[in-house]
Amino acid sequence: MNDPRYSAMSWMRKLGRALSGEAEDRDDLVQQLREAQGRGLIDAEALRMLEGVLGVAELQVRDIMVPRAQMVAVRRDEPLERLLPAIVESGHSRYPVMDDDRDDIVGILLAKDVLRVYAAGGSDDFDIRECMRPAVVVPESKRVNVLLKEFRRSRNHMAIVVDEYGGVSGLVTIEDAIEQIVGDIDDEFDVDEEHDIRREGERQFLVRGATPITEFNDFFGVSLSDEAFDTVAGLVMQQLGRMPRRGETLQVEGLELKVLRADRRRVEALKVTTPRDLPAQGVGGGGD
């Protein structure tokens, strides 16, 4: 029988039988789930997601938020001609709107709302206040499972995180929360794990943050030192002196490195643009 409802019920019955012995605590429950996976009652992916569901209940928003230093925000008095390049550069879909004080978040701006105004030819009389949505504010201590329920009920996708004194400490999105259950959600900037470097176009390459410096040197014909760091992500963090934000760029030995994907813990993907006078042998490596 191929009825998905039957399959789901069958799966739940198998799981119920596997967990028929009452679990004394979370660790005991996880162990029973792993034993069920070992007996073929659930697959490895289902086990990982179930463990993620259980883990979410123990996480607080502060554990998964994007820190304030890495937030990409816009100002309320920003003109459209300066707003559009910032949106294109960062690639986000939602932006906190702040007043002069970074602790004063007055709303959330959706990129699609700005583009709708621009497409309608309203750039001359653009007023960001007419496009803003109300900002949802949550405390750092809120449980992630509770946050997910609130996101689902309110249909919001982003919340501003505040500390116990009311100061902005970061932001959190529904994707940040869901990734704790299903794992990282890949986007168009993710590189195939089998290839650290991928050609994207003329003089442009997509590079994994975990690419070893030695491989990067061989591919691009440069001679970056790997004494202080092993990977391209380490190089970027060392050059900036902090965790980079999405959209930030830096120049290294004639190469332009642009951060495409990063979170509060790591740099995942970069775009490398080579100069026209880069020696031909520098890009003849095995990245394609």
Distance CA 199, CA 288 (A): 6
Maximum distance among all alpha carbons in the chain? 69
Length of the chain in terms of residues written = 288
Query: In Å, what is the CA distance from 265 to each residue of 86, 164, 209, 233, 261?
Result: 23, 23, 12, 11, 11
What end-to-end distance do the CA atoms of the chain give, in Å? 44
Q: Which two tokens stand for residue 146?
A: 């509770």
In the chain the domains, ranked by start, together with CATH numbers, are 1-12+24-49 (no CATH), 68-182 (3.10.580.10), 197-283 (3.30.465.10)
Distance CA 206, CA 29 (A): 42
**Cβ–Cβ contacts within 10 Å for residue 88, how many?**
11
Reported as a single tens digit per residue, the pLDDT across 228-264 is 888 998 888 888 888 787 778 889 888 999 888 776 6
Which range, of 1-10, 22-31, 191-200, averages the lowest pLDDT?
1-10
Residue 228 per-residue DSSP state:
S
Beta bridge partner(s), residue 199 = 205
Tell me, what's the pLDDT at 1?
Answer: 45
Reported as a single tens digit per residue, the pLDDT across 261-274 is 776 667 888 889 99
User: Checking DSSP bridges between strand 137-139 and strand 158-162, what pairing results, if any?
Assistant: parallel
Residue 276 per-residue DSSP state:
T
What proportion of the chain, given as a percentage, has pLDDT over 90? 15
Angle at 46 (CA atoms; ends 42, 49), nearest 5 degrees: 145
Q: Which two tokens stand for residue 168?
A: 């902005």
Distance CA 269, CA 248 (A): 12
Tell me, what's the pLDDT at 107?
Answer: 92
Distance CA 59, CA 177 (A): 10
DSSP per residue, 31-96 = HHHHHHHHTTSS-HHHHHHHHHHHHHTT-BHHHHPEEGGG---EETT--HHHHHHHHHHH--SEEE
Distance CA 185, CA 175 (A): 8
Taking only Cα atoms into account, the Rg of the chain, rounded to an integer number of angstroms, comes to 23
Tell me, what's the pLDDT at 200?
Answer: 80
Report phi then psi at 256, rounded to 5.
-100, 120
Tell me, what's the pLDDT at 213?
Answer: 92
Q: Which of 17-26, 56-65, 160-169 has the highest mean pLDDT?
A: 160-169
